[in-house]
Amino acid sequence: MKRILVTGGAGFLGSHLCDRLRAQGHEVVCVDNFHTGSKANIAHLLGDPAFEMIRHDVTEPLYLQVDQIFNLACPASPVYYQADPIHTMKTSVLGAINALGLSRRTGARNLLASTSEVYGDPLVHPQPESYWGNVNPHGLRSCYDEGKRSAESLYFDYRRRHQLPVKIVRIFNTYGPRMQPDDGRVVSNFILQALKEQPITIFGDGSQTRSFCYVDDLIDGFLRMMETPDDQIGPVNLGNPEEHTMVEIAELVRELTGSRSKLVFADLPADDPKRRKPDISLARKTLNWQPTVSLETGLGRTIAYFEWLLSHPDEPFAAPAVTLQERASEVRA
């Protein structure tokens, strides 16, 4: 049993990670400022004596005794990270410094959740970890893109200077239950518009592509990366290499929801990547990891979650969550 810190633990990915860690029997300390995270995501854990919630902004130092750190704190959707770009950059950079400082004091292993956005609008396809990227350093997305690039640099410098046991994963598009309804991401937008029988908005001509990984697969990649030997730092791409156009995703959502929504097209946002697909050769080799949940299955689970939210607008804290017993059974299986 380890004591594990999850920064951003009340967010979409962080809350699922907290669930998995508790199911494995670990003590979990969840830190979140609730800028984009939600208490509803962790409400089912609050009565658990091995789960601790601390309201805290990672731009300020945190003093704890822990064995491992999963540093997930940062707004991850354009709607959120562009709302306060200066704080987004501070969260990535100061958050990394403070998390690394905690590792120096405790010797805790420290995993940074970086992003595929470090590749920018890529000129190489699919994107391997060796690709340095094509990033606009002063565009609307740069607060997030360059913030994560800076965080990666800090993790490597702390490793070289202080021999810290650090890990870096680069997350590609991920979806699943507990996505925020208003986060502006493709999957949540399409599902909600389809369920409400509203026009499904596609930016650009719909030919741009993304690769979507279900949240359970991604969390499995986190856990495997954390347990690799100290000399395996990364970065390692985690994502689904199955590529789909925006039109294909919209059509599939419409089919799975039985919606009669029409597709409408709008201007493509500035610096929006035209193609995004991970090369996961390194994850397959070093982590024995690859996604296992099909897009149809994952979308079905996500649609069911949003259907529940729409039918229970006044009960966000009662949103269905996988119980620890069910999750533990999955882990044992």
Mean pLDDT (whole number) for 59-68: 97
Mean pLDDT (whole number) for 50-74: 97
* Per-residue CA distances from 156 to 74, 110, 115, 233, 317 (Å): 19, 12, 16, 8, 39
Backbone angles phi, psi at 70, to 5 degrees: -105, 110
Residues sharing a CB contact under 8 Å with residue 80, sequence separation 6 or more, in sequence order: 35, 36, 180, 183, 184
For residue range 114-126, list pLDDT tens digits in order.
Answer: 999 999 988 999 9
- Give pLDDT, residue 317: 64
- Give pLDDT, residue 91: 97
Question: In this prediction, what percent of the chain has a pLDDT beyond 70?
Answer: 94
Does residue 327 register a pLDDT over 60? Answer: no
- Give pLDDT, residue 331: 39
**How would DSSP label each residue in 133-171?**
-B--TTSTTHHHHHHHHHHHHHHHHHHHHH---EEEEEE
For residue range 3-49, list pLDDT tens digits in order.
Answer: 999 999 999 999 999 999 999 999 999 999 999 999 999 999 999 99
- Give pLDDT, residue 77: 84
List the chain domain ranges: 3-175+213-241+277-293+315-332
For residue range 149-165, list pLDDT tens digits in order.
Answer: 999 999 999 999 999 99
- Point out the least confidently predicted range of 207-211, 231-235, 317-321: 317-321
- Give pLDDT, residue 312: 83
Residues sharing a CB contact under 8 Å with residue 105, sequence separation 6 or more, in sequence order: 63
Residues classed as catalytic: 144
| Local structure of residue 125 (DSSP, 8 states) | S
- Point out the least confidently predicted range of 43-47, 180-184, 252-256: 180-184
Does residue 318 register a pLDDT over 90? Answer: no
74-88, 99-113, 178-192, 261-275 — most confident range: 99-113
Question: In this prediction, what percent of the chain has a pLDDT beyond 90?
Answer: 82
Choose among 236, 259, 270: nearest CA to 307.
Answer: 259
Does residue 238 register a pLDDT over 80? Answer: yes
Q: Is the dihedral of CA 271, 277, 279, 283 positive or negative?
A: positive
User: Regarding the domain delimited by 3-175+213-241+277-293+315-332, which CATH topology (the fold level of the hierarchy) does it fall under?
Assistant: Rossmann fold (3.40.50)
Mean pLDDT (whole number) for 240-269: 93
**Pairwise pLDDT comparison (282 vs 315), residue with the higher score:** 282
Choose among 50, 278, 72, 49: nearest CA to 168.
Answer: 72
* Secondary structure class of 203 (helix, strand, coil): strand
For the chain, what is the radius of gyration of the CA atoms?
19
Question: Mean pLDDT in the chain?
Answer: 92
- Give pLDDT, residue 314: 76
Report residue 276's pLDDT band, with 50, 70 and 90 as the boundaries: confident
Burial of 245-282, coded b for 16+ CB within 10 Å and e otherwise, reads: bbbebbbebbebbebebebeeeeeeebebebbbbbbeb
**Pairwise pLDDT comparison (252 vs 206), residue with the higher score:** 252
Burial class (CB within 10 angstroms; exposed 0-12, middle 13-18, buried 19+) of 138: exposed
- Give pLDDT, residue 319: 66
Does residue 266 register a pLDDT over 60? Answer: yes
Mean pLDDT (whole number) for 69-91: 93
